[in-house]
Amino acid sequence: MKKAALHNLGCKVNAYETEAMEELLKEDGFEIVDFDEEADVYVINTCSVTNIADRKSRQMIHKCKKTNPEACVVATGCYIQNFGKDIPEELGADIILGNNKKTDLIEKIHEFFQSKNETILDYIDINDGWVEYEPMIIKKDLEHTRAFLKVQDGCNQFCSYCIIPYARGRIRSREISDVITEVTGLAAAGYKEVVITGIHLSSFGTGTDYGLADLLEAVAEVDGIERIRMGSLEPQIVTEDFAKRVSAISKICPQFHLSLQSGCDTVLTRMNRKYTIEEYTRGVNLLRKYFHNPAITTDIIVGFPGETEEEFETTLQYAKDISFYELHVFAYSKRAGTLAAKMPNQLTNAVKKERSKRLIEAGLESTQQYLKEHIGSELEVLFEEKVSLDGVDYFVGFSKEYIKCAIKAEDNQDYSNRILKCKCRYILDKHLYMLVEI
């Protein structure tokens, strides 16, 4: 039996596609082994969101050839879509699959082992007009408590700092019936929570007569699924109708990752983000109107080209005022091929580092405040695994709000993949877990 190993870089969509490719390999008779082991086939699903991601992608490809020079190395994903076909010799991969060609994996592996000649390139021009949604599905046995579910691909936004629309092509969505088939299988396998993801999830259903709210309502009808969580959303999707419909779905987790990127309108304009701070705030207020104390999380890019100290201070103050549960801070990374890379007044790494530190500190204070608001309250926690924190064993998991929770492990007690109502006691400080008890 041939052995295969896979490695994923990047987002939750990439993670989903990597799992789907793993299933294709299993169905073809491959034994899946750890990526550090010697294998006959290595599959690297690359990322291209930053220059660092590009470098890591190349490193992983080269690592495979060092581990086993005779192996078939397959490179796919966003970095490959953008640059792979132009530098096949430099990459050193045997099979180079562009995006929307991952379902060709097994066919190309067999082709390689039969011929073992030149590098196999399998591409489409993903930005040339309409591209069909690539059907990939996961039917795996229960390995985790949450299952990620890709329902949408592509992006039409072309933010000035982002290369992903060029790597993923235009927006396209799965049929709702196809999603429900997969969710039904995941429920039968024992999954209690699904996480709905996409490259630009808010655009799900564009060009059809259905949208994201319709999908969520349909998923909620599947027996066995008890919680539904959404990936990153754009603030424009949060209308009165959307918030009202989604709040009526009892299985929806009241945690919303609303992408912000900057708390200053002038920076948002340079980023080509297509909304204002007023519109963003309106979306947050609607969510807080229809959900009780929902967790609002976000991403912010620090040090965008031309960002003045005044613009940064505006972002910093806005982040404090809006009271995010979690704040993910990224220092701007110059990305070849984007408009932002050509903008004047690129900031130094020192400035970006200093501003990131201040914003991260503000985010941690906001997280602590949100957690403190839940002390003494009751949460429904889906426990995932047993871990050791400071030498003490706990079962840890997440509430519907995505609050990390920990309960002391007792002898012969297994809480994994169980949803339990728990009372919050206090914060395990440096870990930011809520200590809970049943």
Q: What is the CATH number of the domain that holds 76?
A: 3.40.50.12160
Is 129 within the bounds of a domain? Answer: no
Instruction: Give the residue from 119, 162, 133 showing the smallest Cα distance to 340.
Output: 162
Of the chain, the percentage scoring pLDDT greater than 90 comes to: 75
| Dist. CA 248–CA 187, nearest whole Å | 22
- Long-range CB contacts (within 8 A, 24+) of 127-133: 127/165, 127/166, 127/169, 127/170, 130/170, 130/172, 131/100, 131/169, 131/170, 131/172, 132/100, 132/172, 133/172, 133/173, 133/174
For the cut 70, the answer to whether the pLDDT of residue 312 exceeds it is: yes
Residue where a domain stops, chosen among 100, 122, 144 = 122
Total count of domains within the chain: 2
Residue 285 Ramachandran class (φ > 0 left, ψ -120 to 50 alpha, else beta): alpha
Instruction: Give the residue from 121, 59, 126 showing the smallest Cα distance to 85.
Output: 121
Is 426 within the bounds of a domain? Answer: yes
Residue where a domain stops, chosen among 122, 157, 183 = 122
| Dist. CA 338–CA 26, nearest whole Å | 38
| Dist. CA 43–CA 5, nearest whole Å | 6
Mean pLDDT over 358-382 rounds to: 96
Is 407 within the bounds of a domain? Answer: yes
Q: Which helix (H) or strand (E) holds 329?
A: strand 326-331
| Dist. CA 125–CA 112, nearest whole Å | 23
Is 420 within the bounds of a domain? Answer: yes
| More confidently predicted of 129 and 395 | 395
pLDDT category, 142, cuts 50, 70, 90? low
pLDDT at 197: 95
pLDDT at 276: 97
Is 427 within the bounds of a domain? Answer: yes
Residue 396 lies in domain: 378-437
DSSP string, 147-178: EEEEEEE------TT--HHHHH-S-EE--HHH
pLDDT category, 136, cuts 50, 70, 90? confident
Residue where a domain stops, chosen among 122, 140, 155 = 122
**pLDDT one-digit tens code per residue, 181-235:** 999 999 999 999 999 999 999 999 999 999 999 999 999 999 999 999 999 999 9
Residue 180 neighbours by CB distance under 10 Å:
16
Cβ atoms 181, 211 nearer than 8 A: no
Give φ, ψ of 51 to 5 degrees: -65, -35
- What is the signed CA dihedral for 305, 12, 435, 193, rounded to 10 degrees? 140
Residue 245 neighbours by CB distance under 10 Å:
18
Is 201 within the bounds of a domain? Answer: no
| Dist. CA 348–CA 132, nearest whole Å | 42
Name 313's Cβ contacts closer than 8 Å, sequence gap at least 6. none
DSSP state of 436: E
Tokens standing for residue 391:
């030498």
Q: For position 431, which CATH number holds?
A: 2.40.50
| Dist. CA 216–CA 343, nearest whole Å | 40
pLDDT at 105: 93
pLDDT at 322: 96
Is 109 within the bounds of a domain? Answer: yes
Cβ atoms 295, 254 nearer than 8 A: yes
Q: Which helix (H) or strand (E) holds 300?
A: strand 295-302
Is 405 within the bounds of a domain? Answer: yes
| Dist. CA 131–CA 146, nearest whole Å | 30
pLDDT at 140: 67
Q: What is the radius of gyration, based on Cα positions, of the chain? A: 22
What is the pTM for the complete model shown? 0.91
